[in-house]
Amino acid sequence: MKKHERSTIRDKQIESVDQFVKEVLEVRLSQLRRRKKDVELLFRGQAADYPLIPKLGRKQIIGQTFEELEALLFHEFLRTSSAFKDFQPGDQWEPLSMAQHYGLPTRLLDWTQSGLAALWFAVRKPYKPYTPKGKARGGESPETHGNAVVWILCPDSEDYLSNPPAESPFANEGRTRIYRPRMITPRIVSQAGTFTVHKILKDGTAFGRLEENQAYSDKLVKFTFDSRLFPQFRKDLNLLGVNAASMFPDLDGLCEYLEGRYIWADDDL
């Protein structure tokens, strides 16, 4: 495959919530025609067009591997989180899912079964350009606008881990697969959360990109959204009940929702 050749089924610019819904339904219909059976679509909204690798893989590491950093973060999370949550002894999947949902860098990448939820996460805040690690912009003028993206993954049944998974999330054997967590927090429930569990590559210093993974590259659809339309997308999604309060059913979400309702965002001005 050539360096700039797209491996996705399509890459289309979306200009409204209405168009987005129609395109999602068309993706589902195309999958039904191809497979002759119902198919589950997974969605991921991103505020900028960065690679499909987990948050941990987007961090700069020096003098250690991702396995070493991952082990340190996870063990410290288990040690320090006991005041807030009790986990079943020996279960690594539940605390890893909880850590991921509350922002700890892990090998998990968030997906949702809700297309509107993914769109909201893509346009949630004013646009901020993506800068790959180790590539500072220096004196360049910051981008005033760009594109958010929503990825759609059309998985097959063999792409999923068994539930509960037989192996540890840190086994790093086999290929990247999909994990459906237990509905252990209101956030996972409201966001219809699902994860891809990514492999760390052999030298321990990088994660494989899902869009370049042969098992998934032809199962991905990519939609883009001009950041100048973010305010209108947020207003329309709010009308449909998709906002910070519904995505984060706690005080954090309520306060973010109230701020957005009564205070102009930077891209609204």
DSSP H or E segment with residue 111: strand 108-112
User: Is the confidence at residue 132, as pLDDT, over 80?
Assistant: no
Residues 6+ apart with CB under 8 A from 38: 32
Question: What is the Cα–Cα distance from 151 to 224, expressed in whole angstroms?
Answer: 9
User: Is the confidence at residue 134, as pLDDT, over 80?
Assistant: no
3-state secondary structure (DSSP) of residue 231: helix
Residue 141 in tokens: 């003028």
Q: Residue 1 has what pLDDT?
A: 39
Burial of 112 (0-12, 13-18, 19+ CB in 10 A): buried
Read off the pLDDT of residues 162-196 as tens digits, 9 standing for 90 and up.
988 989 999 888 889 999 998 878 888 999 999 99
Question: What is the Cα–Cα distance from 200 to 175, expressed in whole angstroms?
Answer: 10
Residue 208 in tokens: 């494989």
